[in-house]
Structure 1
Amino acid sequence: MASRQEASRKKTAPRRTVSRDDLIEAAIALVERDGLDALTMRRLAAELDRAPMSLYTHVRNRDDLVDAIVARLIERLELREVPGEPWQETVRRTLRSYRDLAVRLPHSFELLALAPYDASPVATHLVAVVASLERAGLDAAEARQILGIVDAYATGFLVVWARSRAAERPGAGGTAPPEVSGMRDLDTFDQGLEALIAGLDATLVRGAATSGA
């Protein structure tokens, strides 16, 4: 009798309302567990035990959902501007934040890394980074050019790193040959970042100042 009453209460108890935040976090969890191809409105609705149409209360479509995920990932970069730091440190800190996000959320990271610059959350983020580089001593043109170059570096390196990491998981069927095993590790990313900063300083900043003089 007691078990029947308990089952009846479970059937009649109202389900917790799913919020937009719940939707975004469930989408990130789904992508990290099953990969980007799993991110469909139907699969997400099943994860939340809701009807697919109920999700459209919070997002217009899958593209809108992806924008919301990208915005959440940008928040998770946790960038904090340090007053008075040189532009080199701003670049270093920003790209290390990208690296750390790729480590924590390798599948979802690709949505941010490959998002078009004119996507609303990305554009707002890039404008803020350019402004921080200007405050760190670069002029507007230098800030835009340098951010474009280092962003391309981070995108190419970390997306391939994340995909390689997924391919090397047990059961995934892929392993890198030993001859190239160190080419895509995170130590190499950090070394490349330092070389890139030094090269940009020498050619685009100090080099430009010298030629202008």
Structure 2
Amino acid sequence: MRYDSAHALEARPPSPRRSSRIRGALDRASIAAAAIELVEHLGIERLTMRALATELDCGTMTLYTHVRNRDDLLTAVVERLISEVDADRIAAESDGTWRGLLSGVLGSYRDLAMRHPRSFELLALAPYDLPPVAPHLEGVVATLERTGLSADEARTALGLADAFATGFLVVWARTATRQDTLGTARTETSLGDLRAPEMYDRGVEAVLLGFEATLGDVAPSLA
């Protein structure tokens, strides 16, 4: 698994606040996008229905026509983040192997953490049975099965990959956003390279090789 150096794992500062607020018809997706932007600038603790309504220059009750409450708003954010992973596109563009599919998904997952380090944790730590998460994971498992993996193998492959990527990226995101919030400089230590992008790449490769070692014959392509 290789990544272009342009996609290195580094803390990206939040983009400047919008010079103009979203106007016109709102929908669940645009509200979720605005919520993500607010979280990236202010943190998840500052995301309230009132704060988001102010950000969108609308009445709080207007938001309630699209999201039932703050919990539902967080679910909408998770839906939006899943859509950015775009597993269907990755499956369509992959080489048809389980390795290619997982490499693509894990790369997209990493890019998501880079774009939205403060919001990322909402998806990364969401329960598997959360409504938007379950169909997403089931879809990935189904695509893995179409590469020739059994149902158990597909679930195992996804579980191992998800456990590694979530653990690595959540710690990376928390470290990066903590430094931004506190205004602290990055401390150089002998262990500093453990969170380097090359280490993520090597970890993904190790997970894929480890899973491959448990298989007998791996079917080569998607049906």
Is TM more than 0.5 here? yes
2:69 to 58, 61, 66: 61
- Higher fraction of helix: 1
The farther-off stretch of 127-136 and 69-78 is 69-78
Aligned residue pairs: how many?
193
Q: Tell me what 1:113 maps to.
A: 124
Q: Percent identity?
A: 49
Residue deviations 1:2-25 (CA, integer Å, cap 9, x gap): xxxxxxxxxxxxx74433333112
Question: Which protein has the larger Cα radius of gyration, Structure 1 or Structure 2?
Answer: 1
Q: Tell me what 2:207 maps to.
A: 196
Q: Tell me what 2:139 maps to.
A: 128
Query: Is 1:21 paired with 2:29?
Result: yes
Instruction: Tell me the TM-score normalized by structure 1.
Output: 0.83
> Could you tell me which amino acid in structure 1 is paired with residue 156 of structure 2?
Q
Question: How far 1:186 moved relative to its partner?
Answer: 1.8
Question: How far 1:174 moved relative to its partner?
Answer: 5.6
Query: Is 1:72 paired with 2:83?
Result: no
Distance 1:176 1:136 in 2: 44
For the Cα contact (< 8 Å) 1:26–1:48, is it kept in 2? yes
Give me the CA root mean square deviation: 2.1
Q: Tell me what 1:157 maps to.
A: 168
For the Cα contact (< 8 Å) 2:40–2:119, is it kept in 1? yes
Q: Tell me what 1:205 maps to.
A: 215
The farther-off stretch of 32-41 and 19-28 is 19-28
2:99 to 85, 88, 91: 88
Question: How far 1:173 moved relative to its partner?
Answer: 2.6
Distance 1:170 1:127 in 2: 36
> SS of the counterpart of 2:77?
helix
Distance 1:22 1:177 in 2: 40
Distance 1:131 1:65 in 2: 28
> SS of the counterpart of 1:50?
coil
The farther-off stretch of 37-46 and 131-140 is 37-46
Query: Is 1:37 paired with 2:45?
Result: yes
> SS of the counterpart of 2:96?
coil
Shift of the 77–206 alpha-carbon distance from structure 1 to 2, 3 Å rule, reads: same
User: Where in structure 2 are there 5+ consecutive unaligned residues?
Assistant: 1-22, 218-223
> SS of the counterpart of 1:133?
helix
> SS of the counterpart of 1:205?
coil
Distance 1:170 1:64 in 2: 27
Question: How far 1:84 moved relative to its partner?
Answer: 5.7
For the Cα contact (< 8 Å) 2:38–2:52, is it kept in 1? yes
Distance 1:128 1:16 in 2: 34
Q: Which runs of 4+ in 1 moved over 3 A?
A: 15-19
For the Cα contact (< 8 Å) 2:29–2:76, is it kept in 1? no
Question: How far 1:175 moved relative to its partner?
Answer: 2.8
For the Cα contact (< 8 Å) 2:29–2:80, is it kept in 1? no
> SS of the counterpart of 1:37?
helix
> Could you tell me which amino acid in structure 2 is paired with residue 141 of structure 1?
D
Question: How far 1:57 moved relative to its partner?
Answer: 0.9
Q: Tell me what 1:48 maps to.
A: 56
